[in-house]
Chains A and B, each alone.
Chain A
Amino acid sequence: MLLQTNSNARGANPQTNWSPDMPIISLRDVHKSFGAVEVLKGISFDVRKSEVICIIGPSGSGKSTLIRCINGLNNIQKGSIKVEGQEVNDPKLDLLALRKKVGIVFQQYNLFPHKTALQNVMMAPVLVLKEPKREVEERARALIAKVRLQGKEDAYPGELSGGQQQRVAIARSLAMRPDIMLFDEVTAALDPETVKEVLLTIRELAAEGMTCILVTHEMGFAREVADHVYFTDRGVIVEHGPPDQFFTKATDPRTRQFLSQIL
Chain B
Amino acid sequence: MSGDAFRLDARRFGQGSFCSRIHWRHGLWLGLAFFGSLAFAYAQSEPEQQVPSAIATLILWLPFILKGFGLNLLMSFIAMAAATVLGIGLGLLQVSRSPLLRAPAWFVTHLFRNSPWLVILFMIMFLVPFEMRLPGGETVRIPDWVKATFAFSLPVMANISEILRGAINSIPKGQWDSAESLAFTRGQTLRWIILPQCVRRAIPPWMNWYALLALATPMASILGVREAVGNAQAAMEAAGARPELLIPFYLFLLCLFFAYIYPIAIWTRKLERKYVVAN
> Which residues on A are within 8 Å of B, measured CB to CB?
71, 73, 95-96, 99-100, 102-104, 106, 108, 110-114, 123-124, 127-129, 169, 172-173, 176
Residues of chain B having any CB pair with chain A under 8 Å:
172, 174-175, 177-184, 188, 192-193, 196-197, 200
Residues of A within 8 A of B175 (CB): 110, 112
Whether B182 contacts A73 by the Cβ 8 Å rule is no
Contact of A106 among B174, B188, B193 (CB under 8 A): B174
A128 touches B182 (CB 8 A): yes
Q: Which residues from chain A contact B178 at a C-beta distance below 8 Å?
A: 106, 110-112, 169, 172
What chain B residues lie within 8 Å of A106 (beta carbons)?
174, 177-178
Shortest Cβ-Cβ A-B pairs, 8 listed = A110-B178, A124-B182, A110-B174, A99-B183, A104-B181, A128-B183, A96-B183, A108-B174
Please name all residues of chain B whose beta carbon is closer than 8 Å to the beta carbon of A113 when the two chains form the complex: 197
Write out the residue numbers on chain A whose beta carbons fall within 8 Å of the beta carbon of B179: 112
Which chain B positions have C-beta within 8 A of A104?
181
Contacts of B181 in A (CB 8 A): 71, 73, 99, 102-104, 173
A230 to B178, CA, bound (A): 25
- Is A123 in contact with B182, judged by CB distance below 8 angstroms? yes
Contact B177 A73 (CB under 8 A): yes
Whether A127 contacts B184 in the complex (CB less than 8 A), given A73-B177, A106-B174, A106-B178, comes out as yes
**How far, in angstroms, from A103 to B184 measured CA to CA in the complex?**
13
Instruction: Tell whether, in the assembled complex, residue A99 and residue B177 are in contact, meaning their CB atoms are under 8 Å apart.
Output: no
Bound complex: CA of A172 vs CA of B181, how far in Å? 11
Give the residues in chain A near B188, CB-CB below 8 Å: 127-128
* Chain A residues within an 8 Å CB radius of B184: 124, 127-128
A-B contact pairs, 11 of them (CB 8 A): A73-B181, A96-B183, A99-B180, A100-B183, A108-B172, A108-B174, A110-B174, A112-B193, A114-B197, A124-B183, A176-B183
Residues of A close to B174: CB separation below 8 A: 106, 108, 110
Contact of A73 among B180, B196, B197, B200 (CB under 8 A): B180
Whether A173 lies near B197 (C-beta < 8 A) is no
Q: Which of A99, A100, A102, A110 has the most CB of B within 10 A?
A: A110
Whole-angstrom distance from the CB of A26 to the nearest CB of chain B? 20
B197 to chain A: which residues have CB within 8 Å? 112-114
A111 to B193, CA, bound (A): 10
CB pair A173–B177 under 8 Å, yes or no, is no
A111 to B181, CA, bound (A): 12
Give B196 Cβ to nearest chain A Cβ, in Å: 5
Q: Which chain B positions have C-beta within 8 A of A110?
A: 172, 174-175, 177-178
Smallest CB–CB gap between A155 and chain B, Å?
Answer: 15
Given contacts A110-B174, A110-B177, contact A172 B183 (CB under 8 A): no
* A123 CA to B179 CA, complexed, in Å: 10
A102 to B183, CA, bound (A): 10
Q: Within the complex, which residue of A71, A103, A127, A129 is in contact with B192, where a contact is CB–CB below 8 Å?
A: A127
Residue of B nearest to A108 (CB): B174
The answer to whether B182 and A172 have CB atoms under 8 Å apart is yes
Residue of B179, B192, B196, B197 ringed by the most chain A CB atoms within 10 A? B192
Across-interface contacts of A129 in B (CB, < 8 A): 183
Of the candidates B175, B182, B192, the one having the most CB atoms from chain A within 10 angstroms of its own CB is B182
Q: A95-B183, A99-B183, A112-B193 are in contact. List 16 more A-B contacts (CB 8 A).
A: A73-B177, A96-B183, A103-B181, A106-B174, A108-B172, A110-B172, A112-B178, A123-B182, A124-B183, A124-B184, A127-B184, A127-B192, A128-B188, A129-B183, A173-B181, A173-B182
